[in-house]
Structure 1
């Protein structure tokens, strides 16, 4: 437990409309946590929100909020959505009956739920306290002090505004969005001395202003680490997707001085997934953002440094050192390097798509845009899992979702469970053998020209939203001739480097390369960037862990 001085004003809040249940929850909480935390209870969502606002005004901290799902006027999910605006750092638990399990699963995405508990929770020693202990421990390890949110003022159909919002959201930086056309947006522009010609405007919590900031400038001003604290490490991990985060967790936890370098936001493509249902240990699914947040916190808790918005442009070998060079000319060196750069979605080459990217045409799930798709007709291009997950997520808010697939069916490239869910969704239509020929619109997407592959016939349809998930290209161009890659740019490693059991011609060691070791000793690859990898979250995490084991073996023999 934390010291009393640290928690004298820290609150655990519980809300349930049944007075008997409300008193029972509060009783169990006080019995376990009453000496260290203040337990506040409420019997309606509105009274609980009022209590939160009063706590905020007094400067109190709220560590955990427990809300019953079935409440009149305002159910538990609706309450937690509003409570997040007041205390975004508080851990959130939904109390449900067995029949409400689906609602709890939905809440994972809607309010980034930390946990849900089935009622009754007796005995609390087994079903309530272990959950609360873990959440309180995570809250204490986080920056739980109230932080005024960043403000972003931009145009709805501005590509750069969309990029800034996506960057902040994926890096889990709290922000509020204001359209430049609404009164409050105009007031903020006037206060910053701007006429709205250059957008977006970003206002930091301290009151500083940024006009059309690039990623490194934005990251530095909103409190993300961008500069390494040392010049030399045991391990540099390049890429913050599942493989990179897995490597950072295992490297730091096993005593290696570890730094992870990410060019945009941790999580990679998996971090943009609305829901991952086939990852071990999450039978009810988990959002990519939630999984990423937990992995990032886990890595930093073990001591790994995580640098954001740093573009890697080169890898150099000098004796025992491996030097990673950044786009700004700086560099960091290490005994070993793990390449976990992942892949990016290929660009759709249809006429007009490039001009409308960020203005109705999006690559990846662009979860920040999902709210704007309410009651809209949405098109998704792609036939693999990422496209299927996005279709299921957007189908909850969109009027209709049309999945455009070049192949003859989904079964060839999509997991069976997703195919089944899509078939059961009443507002999802799959158009097989269909490609996008052109995108039309002035300042935003308005129509699409679709072509039937078999007949060659074109059809023009109204469309304001298109999300693209086609193919994957490795982010390895910057490696140049440093490590061997295949014809598509994927990195060769281990057995794929050898011919007849012999290592590559320029291999300088007596032993053959380790399983995930590239053509450069001490440089390893993990995850989607590796040639012939499985392209699954679980396998990427496993390869990140395995690469660290091989790093240890390499360091022991160096």
Structure 2
């Protein structure tokens, strides 16, 4: 299969990206790495970014070391990276750095007689770092008995007598067999980020959610259950008390990082590249992304600023099946990824994670203040910050957020639900989508709904899916009265509104998907809002008498224009909007037409 380089050059650039796009935790990534590894080691294919596996040779005699390095490079240098060392302790430190960079070691070729550390002792310690690497001991004839004993003690695979001339007869055939065996059985390490922390750490959940929503592959290692997690804390000298620990593919790491620090390390853009834009959009949900695509495609210099991750609340939806043009449905993450790609293609500058904390008007400019103290200046501004789930107003729940109690986050915490009995609070589409998705992992999903049915707040297609899923149970007239647990959620108390009965049941997972709270506190005193915080626009301004107070223009506000000229609103954050993804996309796109009209009259 891998006999022809032309096949590799044509096949890999197409298949590997497709495999890696399948998901964060699946076998596609392993398969892609396996394919790339086989081509690297057998063909020396230069288009694959996977680093060549390491061949490490260790000998305290500089002359012998130069010869063995020369022979290894001559035969294997195109497929493997040859490392050499005269010191066992130095070699062990170098191996720790190789481990941190997620590189692989295929072979150790080590001299037995060394004053600092014997070859067998070195191999025993190196096995802890790279247990799958092949181990070869270099010995003199007098040490043959010790080498044979090392087959049992250090699990060496072979021993070679010095000298090995000619290498094509005495060295290469042995190493060829060992390396072929290693290639056929090795499992390439995960190449994305690794996070080390306890399962019930709120900070861990924050990082996992941020990475998942930004489509960054990661692997989580539980410090309480996995020995490898402790190894990483030892390698980085961070200690188990200083978690979470985030390890990057280049070997660097961060301890207890913020999302912004991770974003900067990943190369995400958090600072504006220009001092001025025609259009600044706050919020990268469906409405904001649609406006960015239409604005930039029509020639407006556009910047899109997002507090968390592109996609907004819609981006966390596990499955959207009623969006036009996708008859088999798509995930919110996939929709967001496609939209971000489209926006970037038209030149939209996306700042994420970055938060807008205030805005001031200095006609003809709108000046946005960001959380890091910098400012972005624009002619027109679109607010598309959407809505967020409300928290349950019950004692003690704040201490358990991210430690068993989650607002949304169904996709992020899906693997935690494996074979668990879980509870979902809410009866709208987001709760229904989460229930259907988590039912694939959990042994039982129980939905708690305040009303007497799902029909008042949920689409019919979701109701039918829930009814057809055996391990989903809907409990109407039900709500959470109390949560229990110190470091993590241990139980919940459920209240029945009809009977008044309260019952406490054990569970470690509670997903809260209720209500709609707009993120508009930062606009207090700037634009007119209703009692719930939704922003008034267009005709609703006249009905509430807002235009008479501060509107200075002869014309009436445009349909999606706020009480401040040049500040527009689209999506769920707007008063009177239809809380659907397609509606948000529509408002975002038509808002650009009103923005063009506003700019033309400046």
Q: Give the TM-score normalised by structure 2.
A: 0.70
Alignment of 1:411-450 (within 5 A): 411-450=455-494
Q: CA deviation at 1:185?
A: 1.0
Match of 1:298 among 333, 337, 342: 342
Change (3 A) 1:540 1:147: farther
Q: Which structure 2 residues correspond to residues 242-391 of structure 1 after superposition, within 5 A?
A: 242-391=286-435
Cα distance, 1:455–1:175 mapped onto 2, change above 3 Å: same
Q: Give the structure 2 partner of residue 164 of structure 1.
A: 207
Counterpart selection for 2:582 from 514, 533, 538 = 538
Deviation at 1:208, TM superposition (A): 2.1
5+ residue gaps, structure 2, are 1-5, 16-28, 50-101, 103-188
* Aligned-partner Cα distance in 2 for 1:515–1:500: 15
Describe the shift of the 1:469–1:172 C-alpha distance in structure 2 as closer, same or farther (beyond 3 A): same
Match of 2:530 in 1: 486
In structure 1, runs of 5+ residues without a counterpart are 1-5, 16-44, 64-85, 87-145
1:426/1:324 Cα in 2 relative to 1: closer, same or farther (>3 Å)? same
1:36-51 pair list within 5 angstroms? 50-51=34-35
Q: Please state whether the residue corresponding to 2:549 is helix, strand or coil.
A: coil
Partner residue of 1:177?
A: 220
Q: Secondary structure at the match of 1:264?
A: coil
Contact 1:166 1:366 in 2 (8 A): no
Q: Following TM superposition, by how much is the alpha carbon of 1:554 offset from its aligned partner in structure 2, in angstroms? A: 0.5
Shift of 1:56: 5.5
Q: CA separation in 1, counterparts of 2:544 and 2:235?
A: 70
1:399 maps to 443
Distance in 1 separating the partners of 2:283 and 2:14: 40
Residues 1:151 and 2:194 are matched in the alignment:
yes
Match for residue 528 of structure 1? 572
CA RMSD, Structure 1 to Structure 2 (Å) = 2.5
Are the aligned partners of 1:516 and 1:524 in contact in 2 as well (CA < 8 Å)? yes
Please give the secondary structure, in 2, of the residue aligned with 1:338. strand
Q: Aligned residues, how many?
A: 443
**1:61 & 1:474 partners in 2: Cα distance?**
47
* 1:399 CA displacement: 0.4
The 2-side partners of 1:436 and 1:9 are apart by 57
Q: 2:521 matched to 1:477?
A: yes
- Are residues 213 and 48 of structure 1, via their aligned partners in 2, closer, same or farther at CA, if it must alter by over 3 Å? closer
| Structure 1 segment 25-36 matched on structure 2, within 5 A | none
Q: Tell me the distance in 2 between the aligned counterparts of 1:427 and 1:56.
A: 46
